[in-house]
Amino acid sequence: MSLSLINITKKYNRDWVFQNANYKFEIGILDMCEEKLKSLEKNKVKIEKLKIKINSNYLWDSWCILRAKSIYEDVITMELKDINEMTPQAIWEYNKGLKLNEENIKKAISLREICNEEVEKIFQNYDFLAIPSQQVFPFDKNLQYPNQINNENLDTYHRWIEVHILSSLLNLPTINVPIGFNKDGLPLGMQIIGKKYEDLKILTFAKRYEQIFVHSKSKPKLN
């Protein structure tokens, strides 16, 4: 089985694994992802583990500023009589957006462009980026959001979804593919991220992935 079936890059014919020490992952997530990637290698998918030059702090800072700006502008458009009707998280974003100035916005856009340039360099040599879809396993439904990962406190309410910023901030086509379940029966997925405007390539890969693993028929073992 060869990935030439999905028309991947002519030059290198290989995928790419993103690892960044700044991201916090619950114990077990990276191990499960690496095991799945090893299984892909057995199906003639070439995997290469790299550390890249994209600065995750640049991604985070740019995303946080532009997110706060967007939410602030949305709230203004809604013409709410009392912002306290919103969730605490939305109020937090609104107040942050309220304090932003032109210099802040220019900085965020500049940081985003720096990251875009680095991503474009990557896709000159590689077809896809593979990173976990989540930093924690599914948690108690009564918990609004995790405030710790592996007993380390998180500094904001959305730090636990930081791993999504690469694709969302840079507008990269992305699909989530299932990996399986941990020992507690909790599901895990992996993001397959492609070059901008290559949505069909991503979908074709996902179809082939499902043909290999047939996760659509997998179910967790419930007590």
Domain membership flag for residue 147: yes
Q: What is the pLDDT of residues 69-115, one digit of tens each?
A: 999 999 999 888 888 989 999 999 999 999 999 999 999 999 999 99
Domain membership flag for residue 16: yes
Under DSSP, the state recorded for 155 is S
Is 3's pLDDT higher than 50?
A: no
User: Domain of 18?
Assistant: 3-217
Q: Stretch 7-17: mean pLDDT, rounded?
A: 35
pLDDT at 11: 33
pLDDT at 81: 82
Question: What is the domain-level CATH number for residue 139?
Answer: 3.90.1300.10
Q: Stretch 36-63: mean pLDDT, rounded?
A: 88
Is 18's pLDDT higher than 60?
A: no
User: Which residues, 6 or more positions from 165, have their beta carbon under 8 angstroms from its beta carbon?
Assistant: 59, 60, 63
Domain membership flag for residue 223: no
Q: What is the pLDDT of residues 177-191, one digit of tens each?
A: 999 999 999 999 999
Average pLDDT, the chain: 87
Domain membership flag for residue 166: yes
User: Which residues, 6 or more positions from 39, have their beta carbon under 8 angstroms from its beta carbon?
Assistant: 212, 213
| pLDDT band per the 50, 70, 90 thresholds, residue 128 | very high
Domain membership flag for residue 133: yes
Alpha-carbon distance of 28 to 95, in angstroms, equals 36
Q: Stretch 154-172: mean pLDDT, rounded?
A: 94
Phi, psi of 218 (to 5 degrees): -85, 140
Q: Stretch 45-56: mean pLDDT, rounded?
A: 83
Q: Stretch 166-170: mean pLDDT, rounded?
A: 96
Alpha-carbon distance of 141 to 15, in angstroms, equals 35
Domain membership flag for residue 222: no
Domain membership flag for residue 157: yes
| pLDDT band per the 50, 70, 90 thresholds, residue 4 | very low
Q: Stretch 142-168: mean pLDDT, rounded?
A: 94
| pLDDT band per the 50, 70, 90 thresholds, residue 223 | low
> Which is higher by pLDDT, 45 or 62?
62
> Which is higher by pLDDT, 35 or 15?
35
**How many helices (DSSP H) and strands (DSSP E) are in the chain?**
6, 7
Alpha-carbon distance of 217 to 98, in angstroms, equals 48
Which sign, positive or negative, has the C-alpha torsion 110, 165, 22, 72? positive
Under DSSP, the state recorded for 36 is H
Instruction: Write out the E strands in the chain.
Output: 16-18, 49-50, 128-132, 148-149, 152-153, 174-181, 187-194
Domain membership flag for residue 95: yes
CA 66 to chain centre: 17
pLDDT at 79: 85
Number of domains comprising the chain = 1
Is 16's pLDDT higher than 60?
A: no
